[in-house]
Amino acid sequence: MNAIVGFSELLARNYNDKEKLEQFSEIINQRCNDLLDIINEILDIAKIESGQLTAHFEPCNLKLVFENLKDFFKTYQKKIDKQHIDFQTIIEEKLKETVILTDTTKLKQILINLINNAFKFTNEGEISAGCRFGNAHDLVFFVQDTGIGIPAEKHDFIFERFTQVDFEISRSYGGTGLGLPIVKGLVGLLGGRIWLESVPGKGSVFYFSLPYRIPEKTVPLTPETYSPDDLQNIKGTVLVVEDDFYNSEYLREVLSKTGLMLLFASYGKDALEAAKKNKIDLVLMDIRLPDIDGYKVTREIKTFNRDIKIIAQTAYAAPGDEVKALEAGCDDYISKPINKNLLVSKIKDLLQK
Ligand code: ADP
């Protein structure tokens, strides 16, 4: 926060120096992202502890999950300058063609958190992540590293909030001590448990189990990551209803790289007018608008045009928004801060229907 305040003041004083402007805005951007991570972690733990986090069970292609992770961490290794560490993903052969029923986003969040820690506390050697069959009813996932390890007496303790094995060591690595409690909460939510084996100086293996449930219908193994380029060939008009200037500009930037026509409204009444006057295929509806709330606007739009697809942009900190959005007639929802690839996949799904 100090860096954000300090460097934004410096920005104003150096507006003629392009190099400094670039350098400062990069620092501000990085620190904002760190702050967003902390806020998200605090919100996650609050939601888990108040029992307000729910899982959306859906068909999940394990091979794709691990492929995504491999790509994600390849880029990440470059960023943190740890390309010398060998990172492998290992999936039991029979599971490669298996689709299980779980919450894919939360499963990825668990694995990303554990692999992130593995990279954080490993300076040499190898990291691997994968899954295999456990007993008849369970799958076992693991993340193994050759890092600094964790003494046996701390194995339970590290799953408690705000705890770190060694404050001095952890301070140099960064972090809040909320990652593992969140992971434990998420694993519990998905019906599994988490444990670890670790030897100080040799490394750690974090394990978690998940119930082995398969969807009733067979589901095709389709790729699940998209980028704005995937919307190049999809035609349609999208109305972005968003009162916050920066959020609106962000959506303009992401969607202007697609083949879609864009319209913008910052008030509920303008959104209604735009939806009446134009042939709109899809609305990205902010829920909190200055005049009429997004649920009401959705209900009204659907009374005169049932075919318009509406995606609600729900606030991260407001559990229950999703249910309310679907009740109001929205076809889908996406929570803020908006992940552009997820947004693209949702738009693509709805406009192709
Ligand atoms: P943090 O944000 O501090 O990393 P976590 O809850 O993710 O918080 O982890 C808590 C503590 O557990 C860490 O500070 C570190 O001391 C220890 N820890 C977690 N993962 C590992 C690992 N792979 N190797 C060694 N120590 C770890």
Q: What is the DSSP string of 79-94?
A: HTT-TTSEEEEEE-GG
Q: What is the DSSP letter of 152?
A: G
Residue 36 has pLDDT above 70, yes or no: yes
Residue 107 has pLDDT above 50, yes or no: yes
- 25/146 Cα distance (integer angstroms): 36
- CA–centroid distance, 158 to ligand 1, in Å, is 7
- 130/341 Cα distance (integer angstroms): 24
Residue ID of nearest Cα to ligand 1 atom 8: 177
| Structure confidence at residue 141 (pLDDT) | 98
- CA–centroid distance, 176 to ligand 1, in Å, is 9
| Structure confidence at residue 223 (pLDDT) | 43
**Has domain 228-352 been given CATH number 3.30.360.10?**
no
What is the three-class DSSP state of 291?
coil
**What angle in degrees, to the nearest 10, is found between the helix axes of 2-13 and 18-49?**
150
Stretch 263-274: mean pLDDT: 96
Where does the pLDDT of residue 335 fall: very low under 50, low under 70, confident under 90, or very high at 90 and above? confident
Best CA proximity match to 165, nearest among 179, 181, 149: 149
Residue 205 has pLDDT above 90, yes or no: yes
- 211/6 Cα distance (integer angstroms): 49
| Structure confidence at residue 173 (pLDDT) | 63
Element (H, E) at 70: helix 62-79
- Joined tokens for residue 131: 């899954």
Stretch 200-225: mean pLDDT: 77
Atom of ligand 1 nearest to the CA of 180: 6
Q: Lowest mean pLDDT: which of 54-68, 123-137, 189-203?
A: 54-68
- 194/208 Cα distance (integer angstroms): 4
Residue 255 has pLDDT above 60, yes or no: yes
How far is CA 4 from its chain centroid? 23
Stretch 209-214: mean pLDDT: 92
- Joined tokens for residue 266: 């910052």
Q: What is the dihedral of CA 18, 257, 29, 168, to 10 degrees?
A: -140
Residue 230 has pLDDT above 80, yes or no: no
Residue 323 has pLDDT above 70, yes or no: yes
Residue 31 has pLDDT above 90, yes or no: no
Residue 220 has pLDDT above 70, yes or no: no
| Structure confidence at residue 221 (pLDDT) | 45
In CATH terms, the fold of domain 58-211 is Heat Shock Protein 90 (3.30.565)
Best CA proximity match to 319, nearest among 33, 49, 36: 49
Stretch 119-133: mean pLDDT: 96
Residue ID of nearest Cα to ligand 1 atom 2: 175
Q: Which of 117, 170, 178, 183 to mutate to test the pocket of ligand 1 (most atoms within 8 A of CB)?
A: 117
- CA–centroid distance, 119 to ligand 1, in Å, is 10
Q: Which of 111, 116, 150 to mutate to test the pocket of ligand 1 (most atoms within 8 A of CB)?
A: 150
Q: Which of 37, 41, 164 to mutate to test the pocket of ligand 1 (most atoms within 8 A of CB)?
A: 164
Q: Lowest mean pLDDT: which of 105-114, 148-157, 200-209, 311-320?
A: 311-320
Residue 170 has pLDDT above 70, yes or no: no
What b/e readout covers 308-330, taking b as 16+ CB neighbours within 10 angstroms? bbbbbbbeeeebebbebbeebbb
| Structure confidence at residue 317 (pLDDT) | 53
Residue ID of nearest Cα to ligand 1 atom 18: 117
Atom of ligand 1 nearest to the CA of 143: 23
**What angle in degrees, to the nearest 10, is found between the helix axes of 268-277 and 294-304?**
20
Residue ID of nearest Cα to ligand 1 atom 19: 117
Domain ranges of the chain: 2-50, 58-211, 228-352
- CA–centroid distance, 173 to ligand 1, in Å, is 9
Q: Are 53 and 185 in contact (CB under 8 A)?
A: yes
- CA–centroid distance, 60 to ligand 1, in Å, is 28
- Joined tokens for residue 213: 């449930």
- State the distance between the two ends of the chain, measured CA to CA, in whole angstroms: 44
Residue 339 has pLDDT above 70, yes or no: yes
Where does the pLDDT of residue 35 fall: very low under 50, low under 70, confident under 90, or very high at 90 and above? confident
- CA–centroid distance, 270 to ligand 1, in Å, is 49
- CA–centroid distance, 90 to ligand 1, in Å, is 23
Atom of ligand 1 nearest to the CA of 149: 25
Where does the pLDDT of residue 174 fall: very low under 50, low under 70, confident under 90, or very high at 90 and above? low
- CA–centroid distance, 340 to ligand 1, in Å, is 29
Residue 121 has pLDDT above 70, yes or no: yes
| Structure confidence at residue 319 (pLDDT) | 58
Ligand 1 shell residues, CB under 6 Å: 117-118, 121, 145, 147-150, 158, 164-165, 170, 175-180, 204
pLDDT in tens, 7-30: 888 888 888 888 888 888 888 888
- CA–centroid distance, 165 to ligand 1, in Å, is 7
Residue 219 has pLDDT above 50, yes or no: no
Stretch 171-180: mean pLDDT: 74
| Structure confidence at residue 318 (pLDDT) | 61
